[in-house]
Structure 1
Amino acid sequence: MSNNAPPWFEIAIEHAGDSVFVTPRGSLGQNGKKRQISFRLDDLHELAQKVGPAAMHHTPLDGGAREMARDLFAAIFEGEALEMCREHLTAARPRPLLLRLAVSGRPLQAVPWEVMLTPKGGALDTSGFLASSPRLHVVRAVNSGGPVGPLRILSRVRVLVISATSTRVDVQVKAALKEAIDAHAIELLDPIVGDHVATLSDLRKALQLYSQEHKRPHIVHIIGHGAVRRGAHQEAEPVLVLPGDTGDPIEIPAQTLADDLLRCFGDDLRLVVLDACEGAAPGADGSAAEILAKQAAVAVVAHLWPLRTELAGEIAKSFYTSLTLWEQGRGDVAASLHSVRHELQAEGAGAFSPVLYLRGANPLLFDFRGWKKRSPTPPSPEGLDVLEKLLSGPFSVLLGDSGEDPLECQMAFRKKLADKLGLKGEDALPLAHCIQRYALLKGRSELDRVFKEVVGDILTRDDTPLTPLAWELARALQPGVHATLLWLPVLEHALAERHQDRGIYVVQPPSPDDPGGSLWVMRRKAGEKEWAIAGDLDDGWPHDLDFRKNYVILRLYGGYLPKREVLGALLTEDDHALNPRSLEMPAWNALIHQLCTRPTFVVGISVLDWRHRLVLRLLFDQGLPPSSVAVLPLDGEEIERRIWSERGGGLSKGTQRRVSIVRQTTDALSHMLEGRPAPGDRR
């Protein structure tokens, strides 16, 4: 799915007294003229009164309501507005067009604009209610700040529920989120309930507990509704009302809550859901929702009318499932709400109760590229204590290519080579054997062509590939020297996104056809987004580099650099056998010295693989640093565990430095790292 914002078309709606005016404009550059429509404010309130009871009871609209909904469409979409909308529909194909309704003024917020009914025959090449039209995704526009890109999700979307009573959390939210939680798509944080929301001061203290980066919610789900109260000077003040099981409801000024959410959660918060409950005043959510969308979140889902608990739960379940698990609309809040409306509108008017306030014109809140549905196994207890000790301080990482293949790069490469070699079924060989045989049979240039073809397919789907493990490791790593054997720059991309205020230097080995050549350096300066080639290790290396402030990544197997450039991947057995001799230079030795000053976290490395032993001896010829930890798979050989724990991986020529062992799956390891505070955020 593209991260680029789709084309959009906007209708600005405002009133002066009882008169209502509309102004069309669109992303193609046109700005239409402001004009008065035939509907007056009283007419719109009458429409709301006709739709409201049907929505609250989830019954079909009667003929009178449908006729008014059809007339409202005709009043707004005529002449210039209709022609402009048609042009934008064409530009958006094959995707639906984002229709932004910029509604100004509290009296207009309570109007169910989404219920507008397009006539049969299709003035917009579509018919039916706007809310469920296959050609349109309808949102209420909030114009505040610049464009906001989607948040990359490699692990889980964190959801925080705020409610005056735990009963509503269990009944309305936990059941709705169960499927997404079971699929490891959503993490439900401990809710803020009861005494923690008794006063504004209590709520602020509770919110502060989630202000650390690894705890900040991406979605805040509030079981309550909006209302308008008169302030000390009789000015209208939107508030959030949190009803309890007994006693008076708790009221929080919407502006105050928006300020607190922004202060605690910053840009991590993308969505607020106001889960309206029975007893709320019809049409009161709009003002509070608009404030929250302007100040705190990118999007707010609110309700025009209070709904039965069962229907509210059904809507929440469908919405969250679509947002996190639905292939066609994953991460797209407008598409997810549209899916809910489409499912419900055939049953009744409850489909018109939920409305979406969106800041900007990009409804893609979450970028799920690289995410996969998984059912993580519980972490193995072996070695958790030593792992906790390692992670609590500075460490280096050596990220290998053994074990799981989340981007399916090795699998695709092996399959393509096996097919070309005519190996099927039982004749299939491990990847390393396929690579060497193909290079001997067809030549190195042909092998490189196949490799680029395989990796090119991956980069076409995702130009900044990431894996859950690299994403979580990047957050845990402190500046310094680290190493990777991966052909794709997943660790580099993760560090660049996680630590935009740090400089990152990538050191790449020479091409296999030039084993005596220099190592190349690529860098991304702190505060910048672009990567640049800095030359070879001697020419481009800043000798006064502060390793306490910058990351250095040694790409020992070469492959693709962050700018999608290839400077020679180590593919064949011959490449691995010859390459280490080319790395003997003073600048390289200085980097190795820095790598060895801290304990090393060894992941995806096997001492039973001769290629990995070459790397280990190249980096740690005197043995791994004290307190290093190696991760082995749950089903790994016992002999390998003994080689690490009794003989330090068989590296040291003198006194053996034992290496502690942790047995974990990649998923379990990612999950453990996800739940830890980042360096500098451990308080």
Structure 2
Amino acid sequence: MPRVERNPWLEITISRVGSETRISARSSREENPPSHALDPSFSPELLRGFATNLKRAVEEAGPIEPGLLRQAHAFHEAIFRGDLQRTLSRLHEAADDRKVLLRLVLQDSELKAFPWEALCEPRTNRHFLGNSPTLFPVRGVHSGEPWQARDVGRGVHLMVVAPSDLTVHEPLRLKLQESIEAGELTWLEPIAGVSASEDYLFERLRDERELHILHFIGHGRVQESTPQLRLVDHDGQEHWLDVELLAQEIKQLDRKDLRLIVLEACRGAEPGPLASAAELLVQHGIEAVIAYLWPVDANVARLCSSAFYKALTSAAKQQGDVAQSLNVARRMVLSKSPSGAAAFSPVLYLRGSNPVLFNFKRRKLSPAPAPTTAPAERSFMPPALQGVLGERFSLVLGDRWRNERPLLEQFRERLQQRLRRDAQENPPPGLPMSALTQRYALRFNKSALEVEFRDIFENIARHSPLVEALARWLVPGFHLTLLRLPVLELALARKQPGRTICTLQPSGPGGSRIRVMWRTAHQGDGWKSLHLPAPGLTPEDGQLQELYQAMNPRQSIVVFRPYCGYPLSHPLELEEPFLTEDDYLLGGRRLEDWLPPDLATPLLAALRNQPALLLGLSMLTWHHRMLLHRLFDGKKLPTRSLVLLEPGEKEQVLWERGDGLPSKQGVRALELGDAELVTQLEAHAPQEVP
């Protein structure tokens, strides 16, 4: 293995003896300057006050106040003085072009909670330890594990774990796209949403052929002295994993290629009575851990992470230096973020005295394959659509699609021919489909109409590229489909097998019950079914409790089929779809008329309090307008809702004016063809859930 030249280092041990804070040091040149104590004025209370005020500045997204800056100067001057300052100066002189690693060994929980990285060189405004271009602070952890740099022959392999949200990692991936395309960084399939269980995480840790960095985005805590990270169980409920168990699992797997863990979680660096989450991981053999002292805004964390990874993996600079890269990231936060104080929340725990985790001497980069989509198509997504997809939304998927129009015309012609031939009736041209089917059902019977419909539509595609693309974007919540076949539900089952999916469907016109079908994570093709109200079942019944859990819109994807539909296969048993005017009039009821209040209320709250994305609907179709009035109880659609229309429909002004919508309040309308929409959804799609 090529020799990796190490930077000179200075190790400073900060300890507490009673109320006295002592500073001792040693260097890579075997220098041991005499220890000294901080002036009694630098009391534990003063240190706690500085840390508290800096944390408050982060929480309030405010700047570093002059009073805090003066204290940062005073702390810096109190530590780097006398023989210790002369030792540091000699190290800089001997370093030539190399940088000096500052290794902080903190021997008290309060000292570990203090932001030493925020100390500022006197007579400067921005020369903090944490963003210094020549002095790189890290927090030292004693460990008996050996250290060596890791040869990286290609891109650095990064895997994100994000239990809290299916798409929270996507903005980071987009910011790193240039590094990914250059081959400097390999973006592994993330573990996101309800698939982020302990079992699946451990399985991926075991099976990934190459894994250099694990990046956790979520929540952490210290429970009864034990640092924990929040994952999910197989039902999507929260599950807290002891960090020490994670560390033991990684050590047992002997993953020597896993060099760095980033804990983008609150309290990841918070010291417990024994150790913080970051310390535990380093003690068990991870070379380096970046963790946060305090929670920071998600945008700030994203800015910090993207700057860090670009610096760490840059081919131009051939770095691989975790300490220098974090200093670069802190400088970016200081210059770009409204709250400069947030730059000092991320801290680096390092095992050993060499921050160069990856040896790039023999690296041969292979740029990622060029995308099949043209750059112009990939790069542009209409801002209105991007805004809806970037937050929780409800999908309202209609039944008006251009690719079905030839079949609809064929169906129309068949009905008209039989009415003329057998009923001696000549329907007027331009009669709406619902009115035409109503006449047919009255002249003959509903069963005959169903036979005609099935005969024509049995060849409808069971797979829709648009619905497949949409299925990757749906997050837990309440969604609707008017498609006559369960294309959406089955696409969701394929694209998000780790998600609980629940389908609600009335029992047809005149029916008094609603059928609920659901499948839990990794259940395969098995769907459970229950009618509500369910005679003989009490709230304590196990199946009813499971159903209530499956219908939680915060954790499951709940799909409502107000106009019913046909099954694609036996496991999904549905009812005959609405076709006639009577169907829409008699069978179209409000959801609160079908479900008990404790089930309907959270579903309707999800629908009415977040933007709706509407596709396949027409303002000129009366049962589409009626559906929206029932769904939103006559009130306007949520702010930022968006309807997508096929180019040439000439309905944009109708939707924006809103005369036929609830409360006569319009919504944003955008013309976007199916093919272009699929291109946009796939080009910017979140990673599929395993």
Question: Which TM-score applies when normalising by structure 1?
Answer: 0.49
Structure label with greater radius of gyration: 2
